[in-house]
Amino acid sequence: MRVFETKWFARFARKEKIEASQLHEAVARAERGSVDADLGGGLVKQRVARRGSGRSGGFRKVIACRAKTRSVSLFGFAKNALDNIDGEDLDVLKKLAKRFLAMSDEDLAKALTAKELIEAGHDDEGD
């Protein structure tokens, strides 16, 4: 599975000092079917632990997922800063998910070149 992040999400993760291993673990859990919340439209919400504590009070990560193919981390937030995603924001995220999940390999290459997406890692399992 190829793992991508939007430029916005990568900046959020850096600012909050979230380790890459934590982000990959959230994607791996989703790939195994262990989803914290299915938001529909290819979107899932996963908990990510805050350094030194558990996942429940940490961060939330919204991921566009296409099983065994790709995931794109779209949005993240601290649980103490935002309780949940409102309907309007969810609609925007679903549109982004649809766009990123429908991309061909050529489209992905263009998005990477334009730095619209960042490849966060590659999991050979399932390839």
**CA quadruple 68, 119, 29, 76: dihedral sign:** negative
Distances in Å between the Cα of 49 and the Cα atoms of 20, 38, 82, 124 are: 12, 19, 15, 24
What pLDDT score was predicted for residue 21? 85
Residue whose entry in the numeric block shows the structure tokens 């061909």 = 104
Along the 127 residues of the chain, how does pLDDT read in single tens digits?
Answer: 889 999 999 999 999 988 888 888 888 898 888 899 999 988 999 999 887 676 777 899 999 998 788 999 999 998 878 877 888 999 999 999 999 999 999 999 999 999 999 998 544 443 3
Per-domain boundaries in the chain: 2-121
Rounded to two decimals, what is the model's pTM? 0.85
